[in-house]
Each structure stands twice: as C-alpha cells, then as structure tokens.
Structure 1
C-alpha cells in the first residue's frame, strides 16, 4: 500500500496550523521544507476534497498551493538514505542508520533503517517518547508498543531490559521493518504482528504501554490501553498538539490514570500517565 504525499507551499507562519489541520484528517507524518510542508497519509485514507476545504479555509489569509504525489516504498527508501542523519536524545540515546558509524559514548546506540515506516526519532513526537522512556524502569517489565512503525520504541524498551516486548502495526511493511530493526539491535525476541489494538489478547496485561499515534485514535483507544495495563502500570502517549493535550489528559483521568509527566516540542506534546494503587490489594485509584 502506497502513501500519498501532499507538498504544500505556504508561509512559515501557517506551517503549524496546517499540520494540525492535516493531522485531524489522519496524516501521519510531516516534513517542513523551504517551500512549506510535506505531509503523508496512507493512499486509501486520502481525501482530496478535504484538502481543498482546508486550502479554501486559509486562502484568504495567506498564499497557499499544493501538489499531490503517490509515494512508493522504493522512493521513500531513497529519500531517507539521502537525508537521514543521526539524532540524539538527552545525551543518552543516539539513533542512526546502519550506514553510520557507531558511537560508544551513548548509553543506547540504536540502529533504525526506516524504509517506508515512520518513526526514526527525527519527529518531535518520537523523540519525546524516547525521552519519556528514559524515565521509566523497563527492566524485567512487559511492554506493548502500539502502532510500532519502525519499532524504535520497542527496541529501546528491549535494550532497557524489558522481559517481554510486543509490538504491532496495521501495515505489513512496518511489521517487516520493525522485525528487521529489532534484529539489527540484537532484540530479535521482540514479538511483532500485523493488526490493531483489538487484536491484542484481551487477557494479557502489560506494565508499560507506548502509543505514538494521533489524537483521534488515542481518544478512542485509551480505554482499551487501560484494560491492558497492569495495576501500577504506565502509559506513554504522543502524536498530538498542545491544544489537544487537555482532551487526552481528561480521557486518561476518566479511565483512572494520573498524569505524571508532560513534554512539549514545537507545539507537539507527549504525556506520561501512571495507574496508582492504594495498597497491597492492588485496587487502582
């Protein structure tokens, strides 16, 4: 399945606004360019009429134009190989491709060859999820990576000493990519399958759930995540903007979670929730 790429020519003052609008339409990834913004969505989910409505909405405020491209898997690979540079998180994590030299100065030197999947650490949401993971003790724990993409979050959890890591994505090539990246990092025991949250065994329970998706999916699925979290467990989420954080926080609170951390980068947000217990009985509060 291909992705559709929208190349928007817009003023820098409207980049964040357009990102928010497109994210609400289901666009999964964004790259800021000298001309404006490139946005990516699965081809079957693309609705040109919805794009035109957004363009019409802002046409009176700024010059705006767009071009539509079909982005094939092989072209995406070539683009990443041309532009992929290592990134660092908190001086402890380095994310690089296999064609970069390793650096022993980092606690976690993660190799990610992205292919068609998104999630290399370059986007703010992924970087914030990685940063949040540094504050969570995953050693000996069970971890679920929701919508795993490249598998980068699952890989970090495994490198942190997680006892069991399960990851899934709806796209076949993302599943293949996550498995390849797990092997590159010596984390082959990571279990990766193709499916949705509803394909996870409802009798399973996890200490940590990671979900870097988007606002609408999070609001719909946080109740499911909570049912899969062990008492006292942790939920890390990202993929939404600052203006959406109160809705995500409220949904978590309604499901018995307590917000214990928040990170923000360029108007993107990542939240940490914990499920506290009131004593030996394990009753959640």
Structure 2
C-alpha cells in the first residue's frame, strides 16, 4: 500500500491510525519518504506517450503528435483519475477490441471511466457505443473525450440509475474488478444479444477461475489471456 500526503501532515498520527487497523496492528513494517516538490500533473503528462494496441489502434495523448495518420487513432485526455491504456487490463481490452470486426455493431462499455474502450470501439467501426459508470466525473471525462474524437453523436452515457432497462449490445466489455464482476454477473450477462461477445478484465490471474464460474452458464468462454499478473476473460453468449 502506498499513500501520498501533504508535507504538513503529521505522519506519526497517520501511523498511529494505521496501527489500529486489525490487519496491520502495532509495529507493522512501513517506510516514510520525503518526495521532492514537483508539478506532478506535468510530470505525468511528460511521460504519457502514444501507445499501439493490436494491429490498427493507437491511443494518443491529446497534447502529442499522431505517430501514424493512417492508423485508428484515439486522442485521449483522461485526467489523472481515469484509464489511459497503460494498465495491463486496459491494454488487454484494447487489444481484444482491435481484433474484432466491429463494423455496424453496438458496444457497451460497462464501467467506462475515461471512455477509452467505448471510443476505441467507435473508431474501430462500431455504429454505436454505450458507456455506463457510477462516477459522474467519469461520465464527463468520457463525454469530453468523445467530442475530442468526433464520435459524441454515437456515444450514449449513463449513470446506472439512468440507464435504459432493455439495453442490448453485440459486444459488452467490462474492465472493473473481480468482485464487482462476480456480484454483477446477473446484470452484465443479460446485456449481450444471443451470440454476442463478452470481454472482462480488471481481474488478477489468481481470480480468473471464480469470475469464469460466474459467467460459464450463459457463455462459451475462451482460454484466459494473461498479461503480467492480470488477465482477460472473453466469451460468446450461448
């Protein structure tokens, strides 16, 4: 666990509070480091470069030049809180989408964050994408990125309480966490049409079996794909 604190924070108080946690207790191993003062947002921007996923797709920071004008380019300004493609789970989902024939298809991005997966699907040929997220800031980030990429007219965005009841899609992708994927399996499983495709990530390799078990009844699942300690589960609706 890593925590960042303002320089004026009394770290003795922080340690004392942590020692009261039942999983840590007094004397837990820890290290306190003083970080040099930097413009961390600028530092992050300087180290975010265009990245290629699969055969066709590039994710490009909005402040960088496009490396290949003939490729499928998604211009992204995710903000500090949402997906950029650098995390293995986002990478696994982008590579999967790049390998699909999405022309004319409808795609649901369940837990859309920055909108990176929904927007990539639209740029790869999907006719329509639907993004769902519990965070209003994620909805706004997705909306801004869709406008930046000229696809806002084909992207619908909803908080869960506002989403239509009878949503269906040819492709459903959910890059969240193993716990919610298991808990929400009854909801997520009804979203793909018969024969539709499902892609799940945000899952540690050690959690793959339990997530597969939650979806195996309604989907014919493919072999699990791993990247570093993370994995992707894909399948087709029976």
TM-score normalised over the length of structure 2: 0.82
The aligned counterpart of 1:259 is 221
Q: Which moved more, 1:145-154 or 1:81-90?
A: 81-90
- Contact 1:76–1:115 (8 Å) recurs in 2: no
Are positions 1:164 and 2:109 aligned together? no
The aligned counterpart of 1:178 is 142
- Contact 1:154–1:165 (8 Å) recurs in 2: yes
| Superimposed CA distance per residue, residues 6-54 of structure 1 (whole angstroms, 9 cap, x where no aligned partner) | 438xxxxxxxxxxxxxxxxxxxxxxxxxxxxxxxxxxxxxxx7699445
Whichever of the two has the greater Rg, that structure is: 2
The alpha-carbon deviation at position 135 of structure 1 amounts to 2.4
Number of aligned residue pairs: give it.
221
- Contact 2:78–2:84 (8 Å) recurs in 1: yes
The alpha-carbon deviation at position 156 of structure 1 amounts to 1.0
The alpha-carbon deviation at position 125 of structure 1 amounts to 0.4
- Mark the CA change 1:172 to 1:51 in structure 2 (over 3 Å): closer, same or farther: farther
The aligned counterpart of 1:128 is 92
- Contact 1:116–1:174 (8 Å) recurs in 2: no
CA RMSD in angstroms, aligned pairs only: 2.8
The aligned counterpart of 1:203 is 166
The aligned counterpart of 1:274 is 236
- Mark the CA change 1:89 to 1:216 in structure 2 (over 3 Å): closer, same or farther: same
Please list, as runs of the form range in 1=range in 2, the aligned pairs for 1:1-285 lying within 5 A after superposition: 6-7=2-3, 52-56=21-25, 59=28, 63-65=29-31, 77-78=41-42, 80-104=44-68, 107-196=71-160, 199-254=162-217, 256-276=218-238
TM-score normalised over the length of structure 1: 0.69
- Contact 2:208–2:224 (8 Å) recurs in 1: no
Q: Structure 1: any 5+ residue segments left out of the alignment?
A: 9-47, 68-74, 277-285
- Contact 2:19–2:25 (8 Å) recurs in 1: no
| Superimposed CA distance per residue, residues 206-251 of structure 1 (whole angstroms, 9 cap, x where no aligned partner) | 1111100001110011211121211101111100101100011111
